[in-house]
């Protein structure tokens, strides 16, 4: 390009009546640079983004060519290898879930802030009013467990999981064992399984919470194997019998 411009500059200095004018190389080159720096010569130049993109794809092409030359089967073999890697990664992602997911068997039900059952119920209702069903289900399950702790049907134990709470509560409230386990599964699916709760699932766990509030526990008697209700009934019967005698 510069040699052509040098020739062009020299030709401009010539005429039929004057001898050729010789211009030194460096001034001629500088004149060519100034000429080529004009905007009219760069109107169709690619933008900086296009240049960067072209450089990136050139690098990818060189990398692909180098990898295909080192892979048996060439480019087709490399495509097969990449597809197999993608399939393996996808299978692991589907099987294990998102990275950093905490297994449900070792995840605590409550956080570090102790709150009452009423607090959890209020939080659940607030989330439900906004259509945040995941958070609503979580808070309602926490309300159930906290309520059972407040009624002394469960020991207050930090780190308890939803499954553990359902299993322990089922012994005191056997008529609700299946519903407690189902609520624990809903809690785990929403919290650790990546599934979305629905209004129906929230309604189910809310009905369970209300039913548990109305249910009297079944407490086993260590001596006779009867329930506390049966024991009270027997004591009252014996008292009336003794008075009659």
* pLDDT per residue as tens digits for the range 69-88: 766 666 666 677 777 788 87
pLDDT at site 82: 79
> Alpha carbon of 77 to those of 64, 91, 111, 207: distances in Å?
12, 21, 51, 58
Q: Residues near 211 by Cβ (< 8 Å), separated by ≥ 6?
A: 176, 179
Contact status, residue 133 vs residue 202, Cβ threshold 8 Å: yes
Of the two residues 234 and 112, the one the predictor is more confident about is 112
35 sits in the region (left: phi over 0; alpha: psi -120 to 50; else beta) called alpha
pLDDT tens per residue across span 38-54 = 777 666 777 778 888 88
Other Cβ atoms less than 10 A from the Cβ of 29: the count is 16
Contact status, residue 141 vs residue 120, Cβ threshold 8 Å: no
pLDDT tens per residue across span 162-176 = 899 999 999 989 999
Comparing 139-143, 209-213, 216-220, the range with the smallest average pLDDT is 216-220
Closest CA to 32 of 64, 11, 8, 56: 8
CA 231, 237, 238, 243 torsion: positive or negative?
Answer: positive
Q: Is 227 helix (H, G, I), strand (E, B) or coil?
A: strand
Closest CA to 105 of 19, 184, 8: 184
Chain position carrying tokens 């399950």: 141
- Asked whether residue 131 carries a pLDDT value surpassing 80, the answer given is yes
């Amino acid at each position: 390009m510069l040699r052509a411009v040098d020739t062009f500059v020299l030709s401009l200095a010539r005429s039929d009546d004057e001898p050729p004018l010789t211009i030194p190389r460096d001034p001629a080159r500088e004149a060519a640079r100034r000429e080529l720096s004009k905007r009219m010569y760069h109107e169709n130049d690619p933008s900086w983004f296009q240049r960067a993109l072209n450089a990136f794809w050139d690098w990818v092409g060189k990398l692909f060519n180098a990898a295909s030359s080192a892979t048996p089967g060439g480019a087709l073999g490399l495509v097969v290898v990449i597809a197999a890697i993608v399939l393996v990664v996808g299978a692991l992602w589907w099987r294990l879930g998102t990275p950093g997911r905490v297994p449900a068997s070792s995840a605590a039900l409550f956080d570090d802030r102790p709150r009452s059952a009423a607090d959890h119920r209020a939080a659940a209702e607030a989330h439900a009013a906004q259509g945040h069903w995941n958070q609503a289900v979580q808070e309602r399950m926490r309300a159930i467990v906290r309520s059972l702790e407040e009624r002394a049907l469960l020991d207050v134990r930090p780190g308890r999981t939803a499954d553990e709470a359902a299993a322990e509560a089922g012994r005191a409230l056997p008529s609700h064992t299946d519903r407690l386990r189902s609520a624990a599964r809903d809690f785990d699916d929403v919290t650790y399984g990546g599934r979305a709760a629905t209004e129906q699932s929230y309604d189910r766990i809310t009905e369970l919470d209300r039913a548990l509030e109305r249910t009297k526990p079944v407490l086993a008697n260590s001596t006779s194997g009867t329930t506390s209700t049966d024991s009270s009934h027997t004591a009252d019967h014996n008292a009336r019998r003794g008075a009659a005698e």
